Amino acid sequence: MKQNKNKFLLLKGTYEFSSKKRKYVFHLLDGDSITSKELKFIVDPTYDSTFKILFGSTGSEKRLKEMLNAILYPGIYPKKIKRLKFLPNEIHKLNEKNNKNSLITDIACEIEVDGKEYVIALEMQLGDKGSFNKRLFNYGTSLRNNNSFKDCIALGISISSRVQSNYTKLQKKTYTHALDLNYLKTIQVNLDNELGRMEEGKNIQINNKDIQDDGKEFIKLLSLRKWATKNDRNKYALPNWDISENPIINECIKILSEISDSELSRMILDEQYLEDIQAENFNAGMNKGYITCAFCIFLEDRNNKRALDLLTNNDIRFDEEEEVREILKDKENSDVEDFIHYLNNYNFFKLD
């Protein structure tokens, strides 16, 4: 069925059953249609569990590398990312509301591009529960601090009309300064906006780069819930054949089609508990990220006020010095004490 392949980008997802031909008829964006004798039902890839199965589990390195190449380095051949490996990343024990562990980011990895190593903090966000860009900044800072302060790219993929793709400059001026240190870059992909542009036949730009078909297919797959038809078991219908000429996309769809109803029910329950845990740990995590980033700024130049501005302009404060010492306990003690002395000079612990 070669003529039916490579229709993934045009697939609208809605379908009708033709009783005369005994086939399912799928509508395409260009007004055409394709038919399939059987349906294939797949799970939403943006659940925490399914996203990690596709891109953050052992054996998924190739899929993740292909997606990152398509979004971060589109249209470049040979492909930029030559090597990718997953990094240690604290994981929540799902279904335990009182769990004390925290998650640095959904997926943490290291890549090599042009002979240089970068760490990647990759976050999949359902909805907009606050400033996503601030969260990316925090995740990237935390991951960078745990990996020898290597340059970091914090990539956020969001299903939300409030998140703007390419919005790499943060609202606070001090945040922009922090990004100007050139060790942390935040990039956002808004699936709502980009899917809309694709359906209108418009170009997509992420990080000021034109996204090619392979990148568009990853965006199309991750925005499945926005365009495909769902059944009463929370699965989405596709034609029952390889829908794309991209083998990685077909591989992802196959994996999602093999998830059972019982597994999906457990994933949905896990998703609910994870949201509760993230909400409880959000403020503590943000404080840690800001302190560690301010500490880095302080080490680069101990005589300016930018480290303090990063904290005070974003309403981050602590009442006790010991709270800062605990966050920075793995850093050089003399540097930490110098940093605390610096904060005391500006009356940081006494700010109203």
Which of these three, 225, 245, 267, is where a domain ends? 225
Q: Write the DSSP symbol of residue 229.
A: P
Residues 72 and 217 in one domain: yes
Residue 259, in any domain of the structure: no
Residue 120, in any domain of the structure: yes
**Total number of domains constituting the chain:** 2
Residues 72 and 210 in one domain: yes
Which of these three, 161, 192, 225, is where a domain ends? 225
Residues 64 and 129 in one domain: yes
Are 99 and 277 contacting, i.e. CB atoms less than 8 angstroms apart? yes
Residues 109 and 188 in one domain: yes
Helix (H, G, I), strand (E, B) or coil at 87: coil
Residue 152, in any domain of the structure: yes
What does the pLDDT read at residue 169?
A: 36
Residues 80 and 217 in one domain: yes
What does the pLDDT read at residue 108?
A: 95
> Please, what are the averages of pLDDT over each run of 10 residues along the chain (352 residues)?
67 87 90 93 93 95 97 92 88 43 80 95 76 80 87 86 41 37 82 90 90 96 94 93 94 96 84 57 61 80 78 76 86 91 85 51
b (16+ CB within 10 A) / e for 92-119: bebeeeeeeebbbbbbbbbbebeeeebb
What does the pLDDT read at residue 103?
A: 59
What does the pLDDT read at residue 52?
A: 94
Are 190 and 201 contacting, i.e. CB atoms less than 8 angstroms apart? no
Residue 293, in any domain of the structure: yes
Which of these three, 206, 225, 244, is where a domain ends? 225
Q: Which two tokens stand for residue 143?
A: 């991951």
For the entire predicted model, the pTM comes to 0.74
- Structural Rg of the chain based on CA atoms: 22
What does the pLDDT read at residue 181?
A: 54
What does the pLDDT read at residue 22?
A: 85
Residues 179 and 297 in one domain: no
What does the pLDDT read at residue 21?
A: 77
Separation between Cα atoms, residue 136 and residue 122, nearest integer Å: 8
Domain range for 306 is 281-350
b (16+ CB within 10 A) / e for 198-212: beeeeebebbebebe
